[in-house]
């Protein structure tokens, strides 16, 4: 019952409520994994799906994400203690010259909400910096974002560097951003294309499973 309360608090973007319900759940000796899988993940999946269908909009998603983070902040030490394994590690960033991070942050949060460890490099990231960070974090997926038609070609540079460094077998790439299309993603050789944050999670899941 109280898991449903947390679900509702996250879905409704109520960070204060999400935090207090999470604290109560922890006091009642709810397992961190159970709270994550029973409330946070399904709530964020629902929020993401409603956003994809434009049933709700970006402000609603950002508020829900904030509520999820409030809850996750309390859960993280427990997830570590209980050794709940991450679903995988993803390095994410906005490509060189592009300082837009709203969409990238959203994907980052949705991935965390889906149980992934996310290394968020921020914006204006050089090709090799993506790759070095992925190697360092032992990530298997690199996620790249771009909002501008004048920066989206930077994604191809990252993919070419992965090939040049002989890491194609080890690193998968996923791209997203307003001016992108599936065609563009295919042509530059990206392994995945995510038109929205829900698809990003689905794509990462498929890439990690490969």
Partner 1 sequence: MADFRQRIAEGVIVGDGAWGSLLAYRGLPPGTPPELWTLQHPEIIGEIARAYLDAGAELITTNTFGASPMRLALHRLEHDFEEINQRGVQIIRDEVGRGAFVSASIGPIGKLLAPLGDADPDEVACGFARQARALIDAGADVVCIETMTDLQEALLAVRAVRSVSARVPIMATMTFDITPRGPFTVMGVSVAQAATALSAAGADVVGANCGVGVDAMIDVANAFLACTTAPIAVQPNAGLPVTRHGKLTYPETPERFAEALAPLALRGVRVLGGCCGTTPAHISVLMTKVMASR
Of 82, 86, 181, 206, the residue at the interface with partner 1 (CB under 8 A) is: 181
Q: Where does this chain touch partner 1 (CB under 8 A) — which range of 4-12, 15-23, 53-61, 67-75?
A: 53-61
SS3 content of the chain, % helix, strand, coil (to 5): 60, 10, 30
- Least Å distance between CB 5 and partner 1? 24
DSSP structural state of residue 170 = T
| Contact string 5-44 vs partner 1 (x = CB under 8 A) | ----------------------------------------
Handedness of CA 73, 78, 84, 88 (dihedral sign): positive
DSSP 3-state of 12: coil
Contact between 149 and partner 1 per CB under 8 A: yes
Report which secondary-structure segment, H or E, holds 113.
helix 102-113
Q: Which residue has the tokens 């070095």?
A: 132
Of 34, 53, 82, 138, the residue at the interface with partner 1 (CB under 8 A) is: 53
Of 140, 184, 202, 205, the residue at the interface with partner 1 (CB under 8 A) is: 184
Kindly state the number of chain residues that form the binding site for partner 1, as judged by CB under 8 A.
34
Q: Which residue has the tokens 């994550």?
A: 36
- Least Å distance between CB 100 and partner 1? 5
Rounded CA separation 89/50 (Å): 25
Report which secondary-structure segment, H or E, holds 142.
strand 141-145
Contact between 95 and partner 1 per CB under 8 A: yes
């Amino acid at each position: 019952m109280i898991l449903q309360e947390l679900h509702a608090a996250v879905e409704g973007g109520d960070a204060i409520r999400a935090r207090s319900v999470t604290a109560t759940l922890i006091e009642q000796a709810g397992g961190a994994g159970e709270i994550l899988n029973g409330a946070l993940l399904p709530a964020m999946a629902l929020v993401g799906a409603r956003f994809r269908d434009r049933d709700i909009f970006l402000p609603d998603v950002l508020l829900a994400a904030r509520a999820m983070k409030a809850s996750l902040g309390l859960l993280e030490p427990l997830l570590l203690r209980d050794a709940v394994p991450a679903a995988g590690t993803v390095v994410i960033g906005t490509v060189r010259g592009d300082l837009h991070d709203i969409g990238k942050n959203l994907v980052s949060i949705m991935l965390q909400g889906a149980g992934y460890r996310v290394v968020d490099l921020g914006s204006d990231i050089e090709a090799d910096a993506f790759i070095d960070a992925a190697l360092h974090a032992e990530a298997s997926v690199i996620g790249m974002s771009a909002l501008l038609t004048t920066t989206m070609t930077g994604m191809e540079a990252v993919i070419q560097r992965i090939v040049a460094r002989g890491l194609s077998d080890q690193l998968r790439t996923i791209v997203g951003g307003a001016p992108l299309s599936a065609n563009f993603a295919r042509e530059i050789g990206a392994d995945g294309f995510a038109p929205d944050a829900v698809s990003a999670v689905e794509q990462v899941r498929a890439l990690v499973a490969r």
